[in-house]
């Protein structure tokens, strides 16, 4: 097991190195440049040249890359051309918000999808099953930003059940020791702050979780359908196993392997979906910041953020791979 | 062993009366069981015998209340201890299962939950049946596994099913089926997926254990020999109905129903050299459909098959295949990152010849290396050392493309699983025509004639040509596979467990077909099988393989009648019902 983890971590090094090259070239292939974005269309060539010189954009590409990589290895991700603050600081300020949103979205998705998929499978061919299949198809097809707008319009603007933007009521005075607002409220016993933060998360989390929910529900359904006809399920019933244990230990446990794989892959979808959702709900996470960085061609932010997101994504999938061993003993690497 | 039915007087423990079971399908409902009645008395072993589709497994499922979702009991009753289980609620039935009626299922590979430790799977059965909890259940589990003959049970209980061999898994399933001390054990083909020698020890263990515990057994099997050997009473089922029942020996020696006679004639474990003798005596006008064909009666003996004497041998070598000192070593990858690979000798210095127009059988248990020999013979795997000559030419040496194509034409395989070896998206016509097209033989019209002729050869109606494999029975599919193999008029056919997946009656038909084709077309067969009973019916020469080596080879009669090695004797002893007398 340890060996598997070490090997995967070692493999991460060339992967990230390759990604860093691609990223570096990709942001520079975008039309325009950071200086123009910063100074506007009508900036004088001298001003542009000064900005370029300031940030080192006048140097040859190779030299820029090597400098950037060298700084990166020392933990220096550079400075945002838009805000003037270090990229890492911008990231750590905003990442808790995105984690909070992603985790809640994932909880919503997994919490609804697995029971839904299971129930649909057990009632295969009956109305509830058909409804689930159709609903999950709709869930996959609806664009995230459209659903986000729809939810915001219906439940925030018209009905007023949930706040429409932000992470917390701006008039609320709350302390934030960790940056995870829901958690902060619990830690400081400011329950109303915690509740308010949670209410702010509901609509974005549903919007963000909809596609993963639909996908996970479908995978769960087909996996359970396959497993429930397995010989060992019949044998488990024949030995007199109660319905509860049959469901949890035999059917669900065996059906979880493809589901775990899917959940791991959804994390990537969630992080990219966060860009759109956070923008719609003006949610101050890395997604909306990244969207702004794209408009402003903020090279350092684009490179740094995407690289860190890639690391997070790889680590999450490593965790998923390790979890296979817990779900399925046959895949354990070492014995 | 068997007893007299009268021993088990009194009230039956299980009484199935006029049972009717229907399955709903897209094409409407089909009746799987019709008027099935049978009794099992306390402590009695009753065997239900029949081919697949006869309804024997459906009967077992109905007794356990585990019919597939689209099946239902539509008539009759199943009285267990005087109570009709058909009328029980699912919850009541669930309480009955395990505690009162246990199951030992067919395939040990697929019947254990792969993600839970073997011990835990018995513990949960003990707990849900209210037998024991916690540490008591753990201790009891080890006892149960020991009782079922699993060595080192305490350690084994902590392992997962994938760490067990087939035999060990079946022992665990027996322990599981008997864990709550049920009064009736349904054993559904409990050993048919195991090697013969393992089969025998598992069956012995099961028999003595159930006898000691006084558990009644409903034994479901396709093998009449096994049934007669293990059961007091035999119930013969055919197409959803009971056609005959009575004391085991009586059924065997004096079968009343036509189907029972056919079953006895076909049972591999009971069969002798039926086909081989028929071939020798020239009595080979075996209509493939005729199951009872060349019935010899007792006492017919002929000279053992010896040196091949095939007319067209001419100047060519007598042996179509010569295998000389062939060894195959596989590299096993080590587990860790840096661990070294180890060598595994799958085939160890094997030599034999296949005479032209004859059948050589390679027999052995799984892992004996027989399939590796088959793969090398087909040119799919290179031998590590030694030579295989086909018609005087080295198979292993670097052949050019043309020689390769010619070789492929002359040597054709027939594989075990007719479900997996046919492309489900090809019609039967396309399946059989494909090798002709691949080798660019004939015009479309000629190929069509050839396909029709082949269908006739394997006794299949030409109407099937437009169908897909999924619409055919297992026996029909294997006939298609044979037709496909014969399309290129090969000289050698390598049959790798070609009849192992088939029902006994179908098996007998296919064996007859193979024998018939051999005599008409002068084919040579390399026949790979774990089933000695099958081998005896078809082989001229038998090579017994154990752990990669040929431990004994000789004519079929010599090997079967005077086995020279202990291993061969063990294999022969393991054939169920071998000592029983026939009534055909």
Q: Which of A276-290, B186-200, B270-284, B412-426 has the lowest mean pLDDT?
A: B270-284
Q: How far apart are CA B324 and CA B377, in angstroms?
A: 12
Q: Shortest Cα distance from B239 to chain A (angstroms)?
A: 24
When pLDDT is averaged across residues B400-404 and rounded to a whole number, the result is: 79
pLDDT band at residue B268 using 50, 70 and 90 as cut-offs:
low
HSE at residue A167, side-chain half, CA atoms within 13 A, is 25
The pLDDT tens digits of the residues spanning B533-549 come to: 788 888 899 999 988 89
Question: Hey, are the CB atoms on A235 and B111 less than 8 Å from each other?
Answer: yes
pLDDT in the model for residue B430: 92
**Average pLDDT rounded to a whole number, residues B7-21:** 85
Asked which of A16-30, B142-156, B394-408, B480-494 is least confident by mean pLDDT, the reply is: B394-408
Report whether pLDDT(B257) > 70: yes
Selection from A137-146, B25-34, B435-444 with the highest mean pLDDT: B435-444
pLDDT mean over B201-216: 88
pLDDT (0 to 100) of residue B40: 93
Q: pLDDT class for B291, splitting at 50, 70, 90?
A: very low
Residue A241 to residue B128, Cβ atoms within 8 A: yes
The pair phi, psi for residue B512, each rounded to 5°, is -60, -45
From the list B105, B160, B337, the residue facing A235 with the nearest CB is: B105
The model's pLDDT over B83-106, given as tens digits with 9 standing for 90+, comes to 898 888 888 888 899 889 999 988
Contact B111 A250 (CB under 8 A): no
Task: Kindly indicate the confidence band of residue A335, based on its pLDDT and cuts at 50, 70 and 90.
Answer: very low
Tokens standing for residue A268: 């990537």
Q: Is B3 exposed, middle or buried (0-12, 13-18, 19+ CB in 10 A)?
A: middle
Helix, strand, coil percent content, chain A, rounded in steps of 5: 75, 0, 20
Using a pLDDT cut of 70, give the percent of chain B over it. 85
Once rounded to an integer, what is the mean pLDDT over residues B237-249? 89
pLDDT at B123 over 90: yes
Of B95, B96, B111, the CB nearest to A231: B111
Q: Which residue has the tokens 């799919």?
A: B380
Q: What is the pLDDT of residue B558?
A: 86
Tokens, residue B279? 């071939």
B181: nearest CA in chain A? Answer: A239
**Interface touch B113/A236, C-beta < 8 Å:** yes
A124: distance to nearest CA of chain B, Å? 11
Q: Are B205 and B149 in contact (CB under 8 A)?
A: yes
Determine the average pLDDT of the residues in B48-59: 84
Q: CB under 8 Å to A220, separation ≥6 — which residues?
A: A113, A114, A116, A117, A118, A121, A255, A259
Look at residue B525 and tell me whether its pLDDT is greater than 90.
Answer: yes
CA distance A309 to chain B (A): 29
pLDDT of residue B122: 93
Q: What is the mean pLDDT of residues B57-79?
A: 89
B263 pLDDT higher than 60: yes
| Chain A residues with at least one Cβ partner in B under 8 Å | 3, 7, 230-232, 234-243, 245, 249-250, 253-254, 327-330, 334-335
- Chain B residues closer than 8 Å to A230 by CB: 110
- pLDDT for A70 equals 87
Highest-pLDDT range among A6-20, B269-283, B290-304: A6-20
Establish, for the pair of chains A and B, how many residue pairs have beta carbons separated by less than 8 Å.
91
Q: Mean pLDDT for chain B?
A: 81
Rounded Cα distance, A143 and B286, in Å = 68
Inter-chain CB proximity B111 and A254 less than 8 Å: no
Q: What are phi and psi of B347, to 5 degrees?
A: -130, 130
B4 alpha carbon, distance to own chain's centre: 29
Those residues whose C-beta lies under 8 Å from the C-beta of residue B44, and which sit 6 or more positions away, are B5, B7, B8, B13, B216, B217, B232, B233
> Is the CB of A232 less than 8 angstroms away from the CB of B107?
no
Q: What is the pLDDT of residues B315-328, one digit of tens each?
A: 455 888 899 999 98
Query: Which residue of chain B comes nearest to A330, CA vs CA?
Result: B162
Mean pLDDT of B156-169: 86
> In this model, does residue A170 exceed pLDDT 90?
no
Q: Taking the CA atoms of chain A, what radius of gyration do you get in angstroms?
A: 24
Q: Are strands B216-221 and B45-49 parallel, antiparallel or unpaired?
A: parallel
Please state whether beta strands B45-49 and B233-238 pair in parallel, antiparallel, or not at all (unpaired): parallel
Q: What was the pLDDT predicted at B459?
A: 83
ipTM at complex level:
0.72
CB contact under 8 A, B180 and A240: yes
Taking only the tens place, the pLDDT of each residue in B334-388 is 555 455 667 788 898 999 999 998 999 998 887 788 888 988 888 888 888 888 8
Chain B: nearest CA to A327, how far in angstroms? Answer: 7
- If interface means Cβ-Cβ distance under 8 Å, which residues of chain B face chain A? 64, 66, 94-99, 102-103, 105-107, 110-117, 121, 124-125, 128-129, 160, 162, 173, 176-177, 179-180, 186, 335-337
CA distance A326 to B489: 53
Does B307 have pLDDT greater than 60? no
Q: Is A107 helix (H, G, I), strand (E, B) or coil?
A: helix
Best A126, A223, A226, A239 residue to mutate vs chain B (most B CBs within 10 Å): A239
CA distance A263 to A217: 11
A238 and B103: CB-CB below 8 Å?
yes
**Residue A334 pLDDT > 60, yes or no?**
no
CA distance B70 to chain A (A): 12
Is the predicted pLDDT of residue B31 greater than 70, yes or no?
A: yes
Contact flag A330-B160 (C-beta cutoff 8 Å): yes
Whether pTM > 0.80 for this model: the answer is no
């Amino acid at each position: 097991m340890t060996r598997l983890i070490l090997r995967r971590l070692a493999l991460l090094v060339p992967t990230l190195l390759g990604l860093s090259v691609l990223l570096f070239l990709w942001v520079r292939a975008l039309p325009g440049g950071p200086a123009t974005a910063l100074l506007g269309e009508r900036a004088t060539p001298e001003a542009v040249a000064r900005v370029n010189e300031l940030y080192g954009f006048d140097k040859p590409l190779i030299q820029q890359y090597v400098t950037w990589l060298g700084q990166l290895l020392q933990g220096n991700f550079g400075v945002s051309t838009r805000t003037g603050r270090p990229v890492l600081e911008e990231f750590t300020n905003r990442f808790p918000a995105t984690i909070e949103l992603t985790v809640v979205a994932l909880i919503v998705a997994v919490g609804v999808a697995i029971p839904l998929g299971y129930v649909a499978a057990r009632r295969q061919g009956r109305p509830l099953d058909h409804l689930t299949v159709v609903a999950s198809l709709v869930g996959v097809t609806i664009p995230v930003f459209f659903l986000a707008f729809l939810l915001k319009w219906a439940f925030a603007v018209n009905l007023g059940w949930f706040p429409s933007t932000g992470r917390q009521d701006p008039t609320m005075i709350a302390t934030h020791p960790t940056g995870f607002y829901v958690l902060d409220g619990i830690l400081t016993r400011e329950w109303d702050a915690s509740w308010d933060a949670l209410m702010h998360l509901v609509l974005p989390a549903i919007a963000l979780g909809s596609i993963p929910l639909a996908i996970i529900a479908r995978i769960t359904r087909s996996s359970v359908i396959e497993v429930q006809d397995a010989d060992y399920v019949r044998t488990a019933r024949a030995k007199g196993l109660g319905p509860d244990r049959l469901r949890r230990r035999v059917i669900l446990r065996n059906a979880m392997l493809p589901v775990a794989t899917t959940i791991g892959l959804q994390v990537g979808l969630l992080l990219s979906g966060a860009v759109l959702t956070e923008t719609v709900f003006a949610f101050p996470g890395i997604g909306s910041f990244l969207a702004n960085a794209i408009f402003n061609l903020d090279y350092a932010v684009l490179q740094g953020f995407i690289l860190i997101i890639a690391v997070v994504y790889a680590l999450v999938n490593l965790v998923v791979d390790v979890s296979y061993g817990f779900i399925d003993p046959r895949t354990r690497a070492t014995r | 062993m068997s007893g007299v039915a009268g021993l088990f007087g009194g009230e039956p423990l299980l009484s199935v009366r006029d049972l009717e079971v229907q399955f709903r399908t897209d094409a409407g409902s089909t009746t799987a069981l019709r008027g099935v009645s049978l009794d099992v008395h306390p402590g009695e072993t009753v065997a239900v015998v029949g081919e697949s589709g006869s309804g024997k497994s459906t009967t077992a499922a109905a007794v356990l209340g585990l019919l597939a979702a689209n099946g239902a009991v539509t008539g009759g009753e199943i009285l267990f201890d005087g109570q009709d289980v058909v009328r029980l609620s699912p919850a009541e039935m669930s309480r009955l299962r395990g505690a009162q009626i246990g199951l030992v299922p067919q395939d040990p590979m697929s019947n254990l939950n792969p993600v839970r430790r073997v011990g835990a799977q018995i513990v949960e059965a003990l707990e849900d049946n209210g037998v024991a909890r916690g540490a008591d259940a753990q201790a009891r589990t080890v006892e149960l596994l020991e009782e079922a003959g699993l060595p080192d049970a305490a350690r084994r209980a902590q392992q997962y099913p994938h760490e067990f061999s087939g035999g060990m898994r079946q022992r665990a399933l027996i322990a599981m089926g008997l864990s709550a001390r049920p009064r009736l054990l349904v054993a559904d083909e409990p050993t048919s997926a195991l090697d013969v020698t393992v089969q025998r020890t598992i069956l012995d263990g099961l028999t003595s254990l159930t006898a000691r515990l006084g558990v009644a057994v409903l034994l479901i099997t396709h093998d009449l020999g096994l049934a007669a050997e293990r059961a007091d009473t035999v119930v013969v089922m055919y197409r959803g109905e009971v056609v005959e029942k009575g004391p085991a020996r009586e059924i065997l020696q004096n079968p009343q129903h036509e189907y029972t006679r056919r079953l006895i004639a076909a049972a591999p474990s009971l069969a002798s050299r039926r086909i081989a003798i028929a071939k020798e005596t020239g009595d080979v006008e075996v209509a493939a459909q005729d199951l009872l064909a060349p019935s010899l009666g007792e006492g017919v003996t002929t000279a053992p098959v010896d040196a091949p004497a095939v007319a067209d041998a001419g100047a060519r070598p007598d042996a179509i295949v010569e295998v000389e000192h062939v060894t195959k070593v596989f590299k096993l990858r080590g587990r860790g990152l840096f661990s070294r690979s180890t060598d595994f000798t799958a085939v160890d210095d094997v030599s034999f010849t296949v005479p032209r127009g004859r059948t050589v059988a390679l027999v052995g248990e799984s892992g004996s290396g027989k399939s590796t020999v088959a793969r090398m013979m087909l040119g799919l795997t290179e031998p590590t050392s030694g030579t295989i000559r086909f018609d005087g030419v080295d198979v292993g040496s670097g052949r050019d493309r043309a020689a390769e194509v010619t070789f492929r034409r002359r040597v054709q395989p027939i594989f075990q699983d007719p479900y997996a070896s046919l492309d489900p998206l090809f019609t039967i016509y396309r399946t059989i025509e494909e090798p002709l097209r691949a080798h660019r033989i004939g015009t479309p019209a000629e190929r069509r004639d050839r396909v029709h002729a082949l269908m006739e050869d394997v006794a299949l109606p030409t109407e099937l040509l437009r169908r897909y494999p999924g619409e055919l029975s297992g026996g029909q599919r294997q006939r298609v596979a044979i037709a496909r193999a014969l399309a290129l008029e090969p000289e050698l056919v390598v049959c790798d467990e070609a009849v192992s997946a088939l029902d006994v009656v179908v098996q007998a038909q296919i064996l007859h077909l193979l024998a018939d084709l051999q005599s008409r077309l002068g084919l040579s067969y390399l026949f790979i099988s774990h089933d000695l009973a099958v081998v005896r019916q078809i082989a001229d020469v038998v090579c017994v393989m154990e752990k990669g080596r040929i431990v004994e080879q000789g004519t079929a009669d010599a090997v079967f009648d005077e086995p020279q090695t202990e291993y061969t004797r063990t294999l022969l002893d393991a054939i169920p019902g071998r000592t029983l007398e026939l009534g055909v």
